[in-house]
Structures are given as C-alpha cells and as structure tokens.
Amino acid sequence: MSAEETKSGAMGSEEMIALCKQHTMYTWTRGDAVDPIPVARAEGVYLYTPEGDRLIDFNSQLMCVNIGHSHPKVLAAMKQQLDRQLLYVYPGTATEPRARLARTLAEIVPNPINTFFFTLGGAEANENAIKAARLFTGRQKILSRYRSYHGATHACMQLTGDPRRWHNEPGPWGFVRVMDPVPYDYSFGATDEEQTRNHLAYLEDLIKMEGPDTIAAMFVEAVTGTNGVLPPPRGWLKGLRVLLRKYGILLICDEVMAGFGRTGKWFAFEHGEIVPDIVTMAKGLTSSYAPLGAMGVSDEIAAHFKKHVFWGGLTYNAHPFSCAAGEAAIRVLQEEKLVERAAQLEPVVLEHMARLKAKHRSVKTYRSIGLFGVLELQKNTAGETLAPFNGSHPAIAEMAKFLRENGLFTFIRWFNVMCNPPLCITEEQLAEGFDIIDRGLEITDAAFEG
Ligand SMILES: Cc1ncc(COP(=O)(O)O)c(C=O)c1O
C-alpha cells in the first residue's frame, strides 16, 4: 500500500521500510539482514501497522513499555509539560518535573537510597554508577558476571558478559568478569544451597586473587534479563551482600530491565531481601514514553558527593519532558496496581507455559517471575538446547517468522522465547498470545530429533 492509500495520508509500510533501511542503521545486525516491522501507532498491548494490521506485544518492546502503550494519563502529562513551555533547561537548574520525580523515586526505592542522578538511558546510568563507585571508594576494578547485559557504551560493553561484548573488545581496563552461580554447562551444585555456597566461596577466592583493595563494586542484574530471565539461587543475593561488605566492595543492582514491576515487585533485588548501595534504572522508569535513566545512591554515597565533586555530566541530565513522563508513568503503576498485577498474573502465565511444555516436545523448560517469562527450546530428550549458546537454528527463525505473520511480536534469542507483555495485559490477551505461540511451537517440534 502506498502513502496515498493510508487513511491519514501518512507514509505506508513499504515506503517507511525502504527509507528506514536506506538512511538509517539498525542495532546489533547487518543492515541487509533487517526486516523491520512497520509500526504506525501502539495502544495498550497492541502495535498497529500503517495499514491497520495488529500485533500483540508479548515483549513490551525491549521489556520496557511496562504500563502498556499510549496510556492517556501519561500522554496528558507529557502534553501538559509541552503547554507549560518548559522543555529544556541546563542541568544546573531546578525544575518541578525533576523535583517531583526525584521525590517519587525516593518514596518507591527502598531506604537508604534517596538520591538520584538522571541520565538518558540504562547504559548512561551504568556508566555513571561506575564513576560514582570509583570516586567514592578510591578503587578501580569493577566485577560483573558473564551472563549479563549492561548496555552498549564502551565501558558498559566491558561490564557486559554476554557475547555482544566480544566484538567490542578491547575496551577500557579494570573490568573483571566472573562466572554466574548457574553459569551455563558448568555446575556449582545441584541445589540452591550448594550453588549459593560454592559460588560465593569461588567469588571470595577470586576477590582475594584480584586484590580486595582494588575492587570498587560488583554489578548484578538481580534477575538477569536478556541472557534468559535467570533468577539467582535462593540466598545468593543475601550472601553476596555480606561478602561484598566484608571487603568494602559496593553492590550495584542494574534494574534497567527488571525494575518497575516486571518481576512482581518494584525492584528485582527485593526478592533477595537486600538493598544495594547503588541502583540503576531506565526502561520502565518512563515505560519508555521518553528517554530517561537514573542512578540512585545510598545516603552514605550521597553525603560523600555533597562534599566531593561528582565528575559526571550530561546535556540532557534531568530533562524536564522525560522527568514529567517518568512521574506520570510511575503514578499509573501505582494507581492501577500494576506491580501487584504482575505478581498476580505469574501463575496464569505459568499455567499456559506448563500446558505448552506438556504438549510440545521442543519445550525444554519455562519460568516466569511476575511477567518476566521465558520458554527454552530443546532439540532432543537429553535436553540439548535447540540452538547452541550464542547460536541459531533454522526452525527457530521459521517460528519467529510464523509468530510475526500471525500477529505476535516477541523477542527470540538463541533458544529463548521471551514472554514479557505489558503489565496491563488481561487474561484474555495472555491466552491470545499463548495460543499463537502454541501454534508456532509445531514448527520447532518438527525439528526435535528425539
Ligand atoms: C539490564 C540492562 N542494563 C542496561 C541496559 C542498557 O540500557 P539502554 O539500552 O537504555 O542503554 C539494558 C538494555 O537492555 C539492560 O537490559
């Protein structure tokens, strides 16, 4: 359909795709391999093409549109900010959106985290957390885990464990990556207790080898996101907190993906009954209605930076438009009890997943923590994953195509099929999404080798 044929006279799909491919670069891909979904608008849990075709959003885009698309209250708050004629002032000013959002965050982030530094997104939040940890402790090294993603800037790529780092090496020095308590094929033990105990013992040795006085902080995703929705073994976060404190190492929780209700709690670290020294956030902070990230620091770290310079800055720090969107998006999470809703829908999702596992031999396992869910695919009864680590499989590509052609958007990475819908999704809409996945799994079942 051409531009003239769309109702509003806006650009049609073909023209939109052609121009985007001709004049823009896409992320994490060869330009020739891109096959973008043309999207004209999005509302609730649905995306619409210019021609009006509808897709259910089963991944909240990049696990970020937590309240759902185009919520009228957030749109109204953003319009109001435009009407107030305050869209940009430099970071040294005080503005009402900045004041209000910071106060709201101080209310929802557990004590003693009450002070925030605003950025444009998750990577910038992590970059500034690296700086804050180094400046505060006077130490240099940063620990992180292999099965993690922390952003695409140069330093964050070195923090990141997953293979997206490989092509961005070498990077800045001072980053030491460690195995996860459940690394991949290697095992620290069969039970949560063994994994926690053995992994923390390994980590303590590693800290001694690296030199505790050289380590400023360790970054963790309290529930790991793009590397496969991986919660840590029971007791691990608490043990980690104690271990790091013993050596004066700060704990930084990257809540960019898991925060703002995704796991059924405001922040994923709350499942581990700990509070880190620094928390980083983005995505769900505005439900991605406007670009915004933040680093939250403990009162002790905040007091340090009252007396010492924080050597960091951004032109768009505390951008009024984004801050206004952030406050409104958080109000929606609160008023509509969407965090609680994510927890309530967890058993509904697990029931769908259990049904799919019972029916489809290519489903290896599944999990969902709140509305943070994944189905893992296998190719044989030995449980070998259908695609290898960092690999692909033709049946998975075919299944992804099927899902899209049948009206479902989600993220499929390696052998993981993500199930992370907006937290406002209804039970009927969940059933609609899982029905499409159910049909798609027939394709991967056909690739099962027995
Ligand atoms: C856990 C985590 N940290 C950091 C980032 C980077 O955020 P951004 O893409 O906003 O820079 C992401 C993005 O997916 C993420 O999942």
Domain ranges of the chain: 37-67+337-446, 72-335
* Residue nearest (by alpha carbon) to ligand 1 atom 3: 150
Amino acid identity, position 72: P
Average pLDDT over the chain, rounded to whole? 97
Neighbouring CB atoms inside 10 A of 188's CB total 19
Pick the CATH number of 72-335 from 1.10.3720.10, 3.90.600.10, 3.40.640.10, 3.30.420.10: 3.40.640.10
Calculate how far, in angstroms, residue 265's C-alpha sits from the geometric centre of ligand 1: 19
Class of the CATH domain delimited by 37-67+337-446: alpha beta
* Cα(439)–Cα(49) distance, integer angstroms: 23
Q: Which of 4-13, 163-172, 269-278, 393-402 has the lowest mean pLDDT?
A: 4-13
- Phi then psi for residue 104, to 5 deg, are -65, -45
User: What is the layout of strands, in order, in the sheet containing 41-43?
Assistant: 41-43, 46-48, 54-57, 408-409
User: What is the layout of strands, in order, in the sheet containing 250-254?
Assistant: 113-119, 293-298, 278-281, 250-254, 215-220, 141-145, 175-178
Calculate how far, in angstroms, residue 201's C-alpha sits from the geometric centre of ligand 1: 29
Measured from the Cα of 148, ligand 1's closest atom is: 1
Which residue blocks in 274-313 are alpha helix, DSSP H?
A: 299-307
* Residue nearest (by alpha carbon) to ligand 1 atom 8: 122
Measured from the Cα of 224, ligand 1's closest atom is: 1
Helices 427-446 & 338-359 angle (0-180, nearest 10): 30
* pLDDT tens figures, 257-290: 999 999 999 999 999 999 999 999 999 999 999 9
Tell me the two tokens of residue 79. Answer: 């319009």
* Cα(318)–Cα(330) distance, integer angstroms: 16
* Residue nearest (by alpha carbon) to ligand 1 atom 16: 257
* pLDDT tens figures, 305-354: 999 999 999 999 999 999 999 999 999 999 999 999 999 999 999 999 99
Domains 37-67+337-446 and 72-335 are alike in CATH topology: no
Binding-site residues, ligand 1, Cβ < 6 A? 62, 121-123, 126, 149-151, 221, 225-226, 254, 256-257, 282
Of 150, 158, 168, which is best to mutate to test ligand 1, by the most ligand atoms within 8 angstroms of its C-beta?
150
